[in-house]
Structure formats: structure tokens, C-alpha cells
Structure 1
Amino acid sequence: MVKSSTSNDKAALLSKTVEHIDIKSFDARPIIDAMGKMSFTSRDLARATEIFNMAVEDPECAVILTLAGSTSAGGCMHVYRDLVELGMVDAIVSTGASIVDMDFFEALGFRHYQADSSVDDNDLRALYIDRIYDTYIDEEELQNCDETIKKIADSLDPRPYSSREFIREMGRWLKSNAVKKNSLIETCFDHDVPIFVPAFSDCSAGFGLVKHQVENPDAHLSIDSVKDFRELTDIKIAAGTTGLLMIGGGVPKNFVQDTVVCAEILGKEVDVHKYAVQISVADVRDGACSSSTLKEAASWGKVSTSLEQMVFAEASSVVPLLASDAYHRGGWKSRPPRKFSQLFN
């Protein structure tokens, strides 16, 4: 626990909250149109936005959003929520931090804070403040999040769950208990938009689930990542035409692309992902999953090369522009809801 003598220091550091951007409050269409007449990353973003709008406007296309990195904590949390609320996203694949440590965390009434870059990280540790680049989280509040995950787990039948199943139970719990309403998790619950977190223990949920299993050695739940893969592949098979909006890379990116290959292994004929946009700062020279290009994914039979666009940019600087453009162009207004969660009822 933080000593009382340092509480004033902690309060001073946790005084400037991160405010999440509202894509409805400004119209990015003029700047995206202007960027389309430029070069470099500007033109890449304009083309990516055009491809995303094409996916949204295609009546046969289901859109899958993938999230990796800390853009939710950094101010884009409501962007992703609004894409779901407006019907522009039909399923989500994410890292655990974006869903649990950021979205669920704020739904409990906690906040993220703008950080002072001059503070020593050893001092932050003494104050129980965690740092994500230039963003702070109160560790004591994060432990409350851990404990809440354990409480939800304790209330469920002891059996294997896909992360989608467990996150849906988190959404159900938030319907009655959320301090901050309309989180991404709760919005997805309301709209039957499934959320998958393939590495679910790699976040605040992991601590809560470990404690749940230790305290219930003979009757506890577990998270089945193979079931995640099977369920997401079922969505790809049911969806037919699909488009990807990928923020960052890593496991979520590869997981959703692999559904095409998995469906083929199961003997199902499915199309590659027709539309694909990735926004990343990963360097292609290191050969890692996060930096592999969408053209490379075509060699694996995962993505079409005709309607794909890489945007090498820090996501929080460009995602709001793409999303605002799509909101104001209004292609989402006639999209039918997919309600993929109902596949598993």
C-alpha cells in the first residue's frame, strides 16, 4: 500500500485525466480528401480510409476490428466503442490490456492519466503508479480490477470458457454494476458483437483468474484458446465476405487472418479477407508478426492484395481521422447488424 506521507505526491501526479476523443465532434472528411492528393503517409491514410468505407458500405461484408497496443488508454477508447455502436464493427480480436486493463478498468469508474515524463519510474513504483509511455494508471485501482475479474469467475460454472464467453459475462456484469456506462465491453454485449482475447491471461484478468483457480483448486473455470480459434473461424465461415481494420499487430492480427486457413483445413471454402487496413509503426526489417505486411499475408492465402493498405503511423494520431471520416460519410446507416454472438447461443 502507498504510505500516507506520499499520498499528496500521488494525487498530484494523477490529476490530469486522459480525455477520449469524440469522432462525432469534428468532420475529418475534408482533411482526408486533401491527404488523398498528397504523398507518403497522408496518401496511405486516405486510401486506407477509402478501403474501410468500402468495407462498411459493402452489404455482404462483415468488419472485424483488431486491437494491439495502448491506444485505448491513450484516448481512442470511445472511437472503438462508437464504431460498434454505429454498426461499423461486427467482431473484435484484441490483446487483453485493451479490453480489461483499459476498457473494463474505466467501466469500474477508474481513469487513465496524462503522465509527467520527468518523473523517475522508481518513484512511481513507490507510489504504486504504473506507466504506459506517457500515461499513468493507479496500481491500487488496477488490483481492484483484478479482484473484480475473480469475483465474476467465482460466480460462473467451473468449466472451460472461450475468452468470448467470459468477456460476455463481464458485459453482463457491467449491465448492473458499471460506474461508467457504455464501455466497449458493455456496448458489444448490447449489440451482440463478440470480443476475442486469444492471450487472455496476459493482462489484469490473468491475476484474477489465477487467484480464482488457487482458491478453487477442485472447481474452477479456465480459458480455452483453442475454443477461441474455433469460434472465430465459425464467424469467418458464417460471414463470407470480411474486412479487417487492424490497429497494431501481434497476436490479434495473426489470429484473425489465420481463420481463412483454419476454415480450409476444416474443409470449408471461404474467401480471403477482401478488405484489409493495418495501422502500425512496426518496422518490417525485424521480420516479426507485427511488422509483416498485408501483401505478405496474401502469400499465406489470408488477405487479398487488391484492397489492402498499410499505414505506418502512430495509431492514436490517425485512427480518429479514419473513424470520423467514416462516421460523417454515413455508409454505416444502412448496414444490417450481424449479431455474431448469437451464433453461440
Structure 2
Amino acid sequence: MTDTKINDTRKKELLSTEVEHIDITKFDARPIIDSMGKMSFTSRDLARATGIYNQMLEDKDCTIFLVIAGSTSAGGCMDLYAELIRNNMVDCVVATGATIVDMDFFEGLGHKHYQALEIPDDDTLRSLYIDRIYDTYIDEEQLQDCDFTINKIANALEPKAYSSRAFIREMGKYLVEHGKKENSLVKLAYEHDVPIFCPAFVDSSAGFGLVKHQVDRMKEGKPYMMIDAIADFRELTDIKIEAGESGLLMVGGGVPKNFIQDTVVCAEILGHEDVAVHKYAVQITVADVRDGACSSSTLQEAASWGKVNTGIEQMVFAEAGSVMPLLASDAYHREHWKTREKRRWAKLFDK
């Protein structure tokens, strides 16, 4: 047996157990959340956070922003986020490029994430072209297919500046035509006119495909497309100005968290002093508040910057993959989403 065959066999062994994404429609977490509300510590924090999210869904004037950082999509929450889009439980998404491209779009193309049932030496994983996220594996060769698909989409576009929202909409359109997974956040967002913003879009597999697009076009002496980060900020602020009341459901922190909160300040700088701070805010994070970073800064701290309301907010210090299924299932089964108006904020940018 050749080394190639040995490596192929070993790779198949390591990539043998797919991550199965949780289905919030299949279980009712309301009794658990109700019971947690009578407890203490993180349990009560989660129950209060879930109550605030339900308030957002009940509030007829509230636009809900889903804000995602971290690897919960790869870890099993991908269908959960898709379900929120499908059932009109969020109106806009702000996320990391990894969440949208390396995880969701990646699976939309038919690829999978795998459970690491054993964690061998990372140099061994590298030799087998397997990437690791803690106890989750990704096939690097499949990830490169994602890179080249992004490149293909870019090559087909008019060479001009695009916000990440505009480019991700093209990704959604591609999945409608060529995708292999019904439950894709990117695909469903396109179909339901829910805009997705990635303020650091090229910090993902998209970056490789877009760099290749620009380099190839430069070699050919042709114009190329680019991602306009300023347009991202302007467009997201436009939504906040038009929306009025708003609520934040934040998983993790980092750039997406700061980006959505800054829309209030940006609106004020643009002369819209009547734009209210975010009325509701929930953040689920494990970050330590003592380092002063964006991921860990509390919602109370954000109030000092004029970004969120101090009255209706809740920090939940927990690993999001373990609590988001409970929060989302509770909200799904309380069914406030059934009477919500669809906002279709993506249409705000139709010309």
C-alpha cells in the first residue's frame, strides 16, 4: 500500500462523523427556560435574556439584529440561525466572514464539518489537509473549493466596489441556483430579503478568492471588483435610521458587536440626533470583562458610549453553543414571530 493510500484511509477515518446541527423546532425549551428563571447564576441570566428576545419579537416596531462571532455555526448551530431567518425571527445579520463563508456558504456548497473523535498531532492534521477548530474538523481541500467559488462569483460581477452585503447577496443567489443545502443562512437570507453584513469580510475564505480575482485581473490589465467597508458602515447605519427601535441578539463579540452598536453614533454624526439607542440587547459570551476588549465589554459599558439602553439588556456568560438552542427553541415555540411584519431590509438598497 502506498503512502497516498495510507493517508487517504487515515483522512477518511478522521472525517467519518459529521457534525449534526441542532433543530430547534424538534424540542420545546419553554419548560426549561421557565424553570431556569426560578434559579440563580447563569441559569437566571439565560432565562432573562430569553425573555428579552421574546420582547423583541413581540414589539411590533422593533427591528432585530442577529450578531454572530465565533465558531458556533461550525459547532452545530448552523440550522438554528437558518431557522431564525426562515421564521422571520431576525431582520438583519452582522457576522464574521468565517461564520458566513467558511461555515455557512461552505456547507451550502455541499461540504460538511466533522466531529474530532480524537485529536492527533496538529502537524499530522496539516499533512492530511485537515483544519481544526477545537474539536471540529474541516477538509482543507473542500475549503479551497469554497475559495475558488468565491473567486468565480467575483469574476462574474461588474468590476466596481461592493459592500459585503451586496456581495453576500450574490453568494445567496449562487446557492439558490447551484447550492446543495436547503438550510443555508446565506441562501435563506437572499430569499427572505434579510441583509447580511461582514465588516471584516476578507478575514475569511472569501479573502483568498477575492485576492486571486484582483491579482488575475491586474495581470490581465483589467478592472476588478472590491469590497467597500465604508459602504458596509453606511448601509447598516441606513437600516438603523429607517428602523427606529431595534434589538440586538449577540453571540460572541468582536468586530460584529462593535459594528452594529456604532450605527447609533454614526447616525448622530450624520445629523440624525433623533435615532434612538438600541432598545434591547442580549449578549452571550465567555470573554473575561477584565481585559477591556470589545468581545468582553458589558452592555452597561456600551451605554456610556450612547449605543444601548441600560434598562433592557442582559449579559449571559456561557458558551453560546450550549445556551443558544434553549433560547431559540423557547422563542420559536412561544410563536411571537407568527404575527411579526416582514421588514425585508435588503430591498432598501434596490436600485
Q: Same fold (TM over 0.5)?
A: yes
CA distances 1:283-305 after superposition (whole Å, capped 9, x unpaired): 00111010000000000000001
Identical counterparts, % of pairs: 67
1:231 matches 2:235: yes
1:76-87 alignment, distance < 5 Å: 76-87=77-88
Aligned to 1:74: 75
Matched residue type, 1:154? N
8 Å CA contact retained: 2:79, 2:183: no
The code of the aligned residue for 2:21 comes to H
- C-alpha distance in structure 1 between counterparts of 2:82 and 2:48, whole Å: 23
| Letter aligned with residue 148 of structure 2 | E
For 1:155-304, what aligned pairs fall within 5 Å after superposition?
155-217=156-218, 218-268=222-272, 269-304=274-309
Unmatched segments (≥5 aa) in structure 1: none
Instruction: Give the counterpart letter for 1:215 in structure 2.
Output: D
Unmatched 5+ stretches in structure 2: none
Q: Which whole-Å CA distance do the structure 2 matches of 1:4 and 1:151 have between them?
A: 31
**CA offset at residue 117 of structure 1?**
4.0
Deviation string for 1:113-164 (max 9, x for gaps)?
0013431111000000000000000000000000000000000000000000
Measure, in 1, the Cα distance between the counterparts of 2:238 and 2:94: 14
**SS across alignment from 1:253:** helix
CA distance in 2, matches of 1:117, 1:281: 25
1:315 shift after superposition: 0.1
Tell me the distance in 2 between the aligned counterparts of 1:115 and 1:287.
33
The equivalent residue for 2:106 is 105
Structure 2 distance, partners of 1:167, 1:271, is 28
Q: Quick one: distance in 1 between partners of 2:257 and 2:323?
A: 18
Q: Distance in 1 between matches of 2:119 and 2:276?
A: 51
Distance in 2 separating the partners of 1:135 and 1:118: 9
By how many angstroms is 1:179 displaced? 1.2
Using the size of structure 2 for normalisation, the TM-score is 0.97
Q: In angstroms, what is the RMSD of aligned CA positions?
A: 0.8
**How many residues are treated as equivalent by the alignment?**
344
TM-score normalised by the chain length of structure 1? 0.99
Name the residue aligned to 2:26: 25
